[in-house]
Structure 1
Amino acid sequence: MNDFFDAHWQTWAAVIASGVFHGANPAMGWLFATAIGLQRGSRPALLMALPPIALGHAASILLFTSSAAILGTWLPTGGLHWLLGALLIGWAAWQQIYGHRHRVRVGMTAGFAGLAAWSALMATLHGAGLMLMPVMLPLCSGAPGTGVAGTLSVSLQLAVLHTLVTLATTALIALAAYQYLGLGLLRRGWINFDWLWRGALVATGTLVMAAG
């Protein structure tokens, strides 16, 4: 197992980096958690919103990474690279044309289940899990164990690590916005994550197809 992690350390580093990237995206949850905290005037309310947001994100990520794990055991590597690359670029195009028409809305009084469902839908519609599917390709080929069981185990570890990093990043930004910066931060020059996100999807898809 240690040899497996040592051999794929760059891939696991990419998982951590993607967690930071997803956590910094307002659409993935920190903006909503901050808004809840500010509306209720309560830091605990902000903190209580984080677990369901993380759970929903993890569910979406696991859906896609486990799918990649299964596909990786059935399809030739070259064909899988082209399939995933085309999906990533196609999803970026869909986001550019139709993404703004499919905003998922949920009230500030949403409970645990509502927040988790909102988070899962947001991550899915933005292609957060799809963005991580290419990371599964080198892991599938070297996963300890055999067949689907081995790759599914790796996909679960990937989803857990990614979610923990995303949660930590989300919490840090949400708390900073709540305590010091406020939501005016977005008006004063926050990064346009819609364009950055779509660019990341296209870049990842292109690299995956080139590697195939």
Structure 2
Amino acid sequence: MNTISSALWPWLALAGLGAFHGLNPAMGWLFVAALGLHRRSRGLVLMALVPIALGHALAVGAVLLAVIVFGTVVDATFLGRGAGIILIVWAMTHLLTGHRTPLRIGMQTGLAGLALWSFMMASAHGAGFMLIPALLSLCVTPGTGVELAASPSVPISFAALAVHTGAMMAVIGGVSLIVYDQGLAFLRRGWINLDILWSLALAGGGIFLLAG
């Protein structure tokens, strides 16, 4: 049972982080819903999910690829400690200054602009770094302290990215359609600010890596 749990938890974490990212308005659902309302098109809400997913996946995938590349030449324990420090510093920066991006996209943007916006927002929020603890747990045997092997790590990282992005898009799609159908008044009735939770998730990932 413990073996099953240890093998399953990273995948559940990847899906859970995907759902959490999907709930964050900064990751796309607010823009998608507003774009659909602006153009009065429910179909556009669904269509906009594609560039949102593409931009987010590219930003997160770049981080996962960097982890694998560094992991093939650097001891996995050292890599985990370094990633943990980065996560904690990122969390503190977010708490002190918030996340800002110089990119401004208006309601007249096309799908390419939406993909670029999604990429920039995911990068600025450190979304990909949140997945590092789960990825290292999948690719490194605990206690070995060895370098990552690229051959098994690359397909695992693609699967991790697919699970994460799929969960995120399911949540973004659901929330966007609810907001589109009920109007922005829905936000005044029941939405919360996720900035603090986002920072806690970053810091929690960092602590996990440092304590592992």
Question: For residues 109 and 200 of structure 2, what CA distance do their matches in structure 1 show?
Answer: 32
C-alpha distance in structure 1 between counterparts of 2:100 and 2:158, whole Å? 32
Count of paired positions:
204
Distance 2:205 2:161 in 1: 18
Once residues 24 and 103 of structure 1 are traced to their aligned partners in structure 2, the CA distance between those partners, rounded to angstroms, is 23
* In structure 1, C-alpha distance between the alignment counterparts of 2:5 and 2:159, rounded to whole Å: 15
Using the size of structure 2 for normalisation, the TM-score is: 0.89
* Equivalent in the alignment of 1:179: 181
2:55 and 2:119 in contact (8 A); partners too: yes
The CA distance in 1 between the partners of 2:190 and 2:45, in whole Å, is 23
TM-superposed deviation, 1:6:
8.2
When residues 101 and 147 of structure 1 are mapped into structure 2, their CA distance, relative to the original with a 3 A threshold, is: closer
- TM-score, normalised relative to structure 1: 0.89
User: After the TM superposition, which of the residue ranges 115-124 and 71-80 deviates more from structure 2?
Assistant: 71-80
TM alignment of 1:72-151, pairs within 5 A: 72-102=71-101, 104-141=103-140, 147-151=149-153
Q: Would the aligned equivalents of 2:88 and 2:203 in 1 still touch at CA under 8 Å?
A: yes
Quote the sequence identity (%): 42
Specify every segment of 5 or more residues in structure 1 that has no aligned partner in the other structure, as ranges: none
Counterpart of 1:191 in structure 2 is: 192
Structure with the larger helix share: 1
1:36 aligns with 2:38: no
Separation in structure 2 between the aligned mates of residue 102 and residue 166 of structure 1, nearest angstrom:
21
Aligned CA distance change for structure 1 residues 100 and 76 (closer, same or farther; 3 Å): closer
TM-superposed deviation, 1:191: 1.6
Structure 1 residue 81, shift from structure 2 partner? 2.0
Is the alpha carbon distance of 1:100 and 1:75 closer, same or farther for their aligned partners in structure 2, counting shifts above 3 Å?
closer
- Computed over aligned residues only, the root mean square deviation of the Cα atoms, in angstroms, reads 2.0
Task: Return the offset for 1:168.
Answer: 0.7
